Chains A and B, each alone.
Chain A
Amino acid sequence: MPPKIPSKGNEFWNGTRDELPILLGAMPFGVIFGVLAMQSGQLSQAQAQAMSAVIFAGSAQFIAAKLLADHAAVVVIVLTVLVVNLRHMLYSASLAPLVKHLNIGWKVLLAYLLTDESYAVGITRYTQPDSLQPGSNAHWYFFGSGLTLWAAWQLSTAFGVFIGTQISQDVLSLLEFALPLTFIALVVPNLKNVGSIVAAIVSGSAILLVSGLPFNSGLLVAGIIGIATGFIADGFIRRRTS
């Protein structure tokens, strides 16, 4: 007899529950985003809040708020957000075979909710063999974890927007430092192969040379140079060792 298939409700609440610890790390950044967005002086409260719903990607929103504060050109902001978010294509490729059988509405919904934090939790459900049997409701698990993160992100943004303009300059510069620190926590443990190390060193050096480029396009240029060099170095190593 095949094992009993967990119900939609069971899957949903399990996804919700497993996402909760992640919120501890994510919610402070929602608050900080709300503060930085208001401090940029370019966004209304409604616009700052809408950004969390429309873009729904922490690092990209941080960068957009910073570029807005620096009076960057709109086209540069859009392109920089795109490059910062390109990594989502990796998650999309990984999730695609697992949601292949779902209808288009589900695919759109899960794609919208696909973030670093919901992918990290949601994909764990799909490593369990029973998630792949016919009639499985595992997509409700992904929905539960994604929706939980979404709600927490909107609430924490709202709180940041609310306190946004009352924050002192000292606290603000400390909050701004949370951005590089978060990325240090993400990047450093993953510098495990030559390509990644080359990509990091090259783009980290390139930004020093191109940070003065017009329209604040330095980050975009440095990022693309780093991605390309990492890719080439990785290809070179593969050819040498194969």
Chain B
Amino acid sequence: MTPSSLGIWLMMGAAGLLTFLTRFSFIALLGRVNAPVWLTRLLSFVPPAVLTAIIVQGVLIQNGALIHSVANPKLLAAMIAGGVAWRTKNALLTIAVGMAALLILSAVL
């Protein structure tokens, strides 16, 4: 199902408004409501959960199907990048090494 141009604008408006509300939430409420501790705890798990799902999707799934081969250059490059991220905590280096690894492994495998 392909959204119409109007559908795209509506999607963008709704997504933009909701995104703004996440940013405005406590700034708007403060003075009256402080962020409850349970909520800040819950929200702290949003990045590891959501971003990891996106990582796994980008590395292991192609056209909706799981890539079964172990000789998957994206999987190996992602593992190398994960090692660099763990050791150096340097985002640019992680991305650069991951890209280089994918280029080399795609040529070799």
Most chain A CB inside 10 Å of its own CB: which residue of B5, B29, B50, B98:
B50
Chief secondary structure at chain A's binding surface = helix
How many B residues have CB within 8 A of the partner chain? Answer: 71
Question: Does residue B44 face the partner (Cβ distance < 8 Å to A)?
Answer: yes
Whether B12 lies near A93 (C-beta < 8 A) is no
How many A residues have CB within 8 A of the partner chain? Answer: 89
- Chain B's closest residue to A235 (CB) is B41
B-chain residues with CB within 8 Å of residue A195 when the two chains form the complex:
41, 44-45
Whether A87 lies near B3 (C-beta < 8 A) is no
> In the complex the two chains form, what is the Cα distance from A63 to B50 in whole Å?
11
Whether B15 lies near A92 (C-beta < 8 A) is no
Whether A176 lies near B58 (C-beta < 8 A) is yes
> In the complex the two chains form, what is the Cα distance from A74 to B31 in whole Å?
36
Whether B95 lies near A181 (C-beta < 8 A) is yes
- Chain A's closest residue to B2 (CB) is A71
Whether A78 lies near B15 (C-beta < 8 A) is yes
Q: Which of A174, A186, A231 contacts B51 (CB 8 A)?
A: A186
Question: Does residue A1 face the partner (Cβ distance < 8 Å to B)?
Answer: no
A-chain residues with CB within 8 Å of residue B5 when the two chains form the complex:
44, 47
> In the complex the two chains form, what is the Cα distance from A224 to B39 in whole Å?
14
Most chain A CB inside 10 Å of its own CB: which residue of B5, B43, B60:
B43
- Chain A's closest residue to B59 (CB) is A180
Whether A223 lies near B8 (C-beta < 8 A) is no
- Chain A's closest residue to B28 (CB) is A107
Whether B15 lies near A88 (C-beta < 8 A) is no
Whether A219 lies near B54 (C-beta < 8 A) is yes
Contact segment of A5-13, A125-133, A149-157, A204-212: A204-212
Known: A92-B22, A99-B27, A219-B54. A87 touches B43 (CB 8 A): yes
Whether A231 lies near B42 (C-beta < 8 A) is yes
> In the complex the two chains form, what is the Cα distance from A234 to B49 in whole Å?
13
Complex interface residues of chain B between 50 and 109 (CB less than 8 A to chain A):
50-61, 64, 66, 74, 77-78, 81-82, 85-86, 89-92, 94-95, 98-99, 102-103
- Chain B's closest residue to A97 (CB) is B30
Q: Which of A68, A182, A204, A223 contacts B95 (CB 8 A)?
A: A182
Q: Which of B10, B35, B56 contacts A74 (CB 8 A)?
A: B10
> In the complex the two chains form, what is the Cα distance from A74 to B6 in whole Å?
11
B-chain residues with CB within 8 Å of residue A197 when the two chains form the complex:
48
B-chain residues with CB within 8 Å of residue A186 when the two chains form the complex:
47, 51, 91
User: Which 6 pairs from chain A and chain B are nearest by CB?
Assistant: A226-B49, A180-B58, A54-B16, A230-B45, A93-B35, A96-B30
A-chain residues with CB within 8 Å of residue B103 when the two chains form the complex:
174
B-chain residues with CB within 8 Å of residue A68 when the two chains form the complex:
3, 8
Q: Which of B26, B57, B64 contacts A89 (CB 8 A)?
A: B26
B-chain residues with CB within 8 Å of residue A235 when the two chains form the complex:
41
